[in-house]
Amino acid sequence: MGLDWTALEQGLQRVATQKAAAIMAEHEGHSFYGLALHGVPTEEDGELVLPVLALNSEEALARDLSDEPPVDSEDDDFETDPEAEEWSEPPLDGSDPPDPEEDAAADDAEASAPGAVEETGDDELDLDADVDTDDSTAGFYSRRWDPGEWHWNAVDLVESAAAGVWERAFAAEVQGNGWETTALRYYGLMVRVVQAVRQDLEASGGKELVCFVADDDHAERLLRASLTAEQLERHFPELVAN
């Protein structure tokens, strides 16, 4: 059986939304500004893996850029929230990933349906296109927008055993359809996921975040695909001018 792309997309959207909401709820005094999925290689000799979630706030950025010592560990513990779902057994048969809380309650509640988002075509994500980079300290290529440098920079979305199931499915997909075809489809899926997560968080009363898929080799192309035109112009005018 091939990789179940629908279950993958729905599962990533649901868990990323829940994890992000849990972090934001634990730090109500923070002004969160960015969310990203990252950590997936784009080299043909690299294995396709599940992304990790990154999140940052204005306060966390200011603290990390200053000489202040780290705050108490309990303030940074973003993976112990009892409400944060672990997507532990992702199915590959077309059904939605199971919800542990629903299992414990004898399936007495239905999982929330994923929000509808605008489709992003794979042809918009040419991973072979050259992208100009800028090593300056301002704008998109600054630490402010580098998920790997954010305070919450590597939040796992699945348990290791479940991740292995998906990664074996990726390998089989690459073997059957080729690396480039599979990678383009996967990155298009992740773009739709971050768009849906942004809408989910806004719908629940949260502040609008800049949500994007991050990758060192194709940073601008993925950013443009992830954001609305208004977000791109407001937050990254230097890219609109180019």
Query: Identity (one letter) of the amino acid at 146?
Result: D
Indicate the range of 26-35, 131-140, 148-157 predicted with least confidence. 131-140
Question: How many C-beta neighbours within 10 Å does residue 70 have?
Answer: 10
pTM for this entry: 0.74
Integer Cα distance of 150 and 136 in angstroms:
18
pLDDT at 25: 95
What are the pLDDT digits (tens) for 52-86? 999 999 999 999 888 555 544 344 444 434 344 55
DSSP H helices, the chain, are: 5-26, 58-65, 73-76, 100-104, 160-177, 179-203, 219-226, 229-235, 237-241
Which residue did the predictor score with more confidence, 105 or 46?
46
Q: How many residues are present in the chain?
A: 242
Which residue did the predictor score with more confidence, 107 or 221?
221
What are the pLDDT digits (tens) for 120-146? 444 455 554 444 443 333 589 899 999
How many domains, in total, are found in the chain?
1
Whether the pLDDT of residue 153 is over 60: the answer is yes
Whether the pLDDT of residue 202 is over 90: the answer is yes
Give the CA-trace dihedral at 201, 216, 139, 204, to 10 degrees. Answer: 0
- In 156-227 the beta strands, taken as DSSP E runs, fall at 210-213
Range of the domain at 24: 5-241
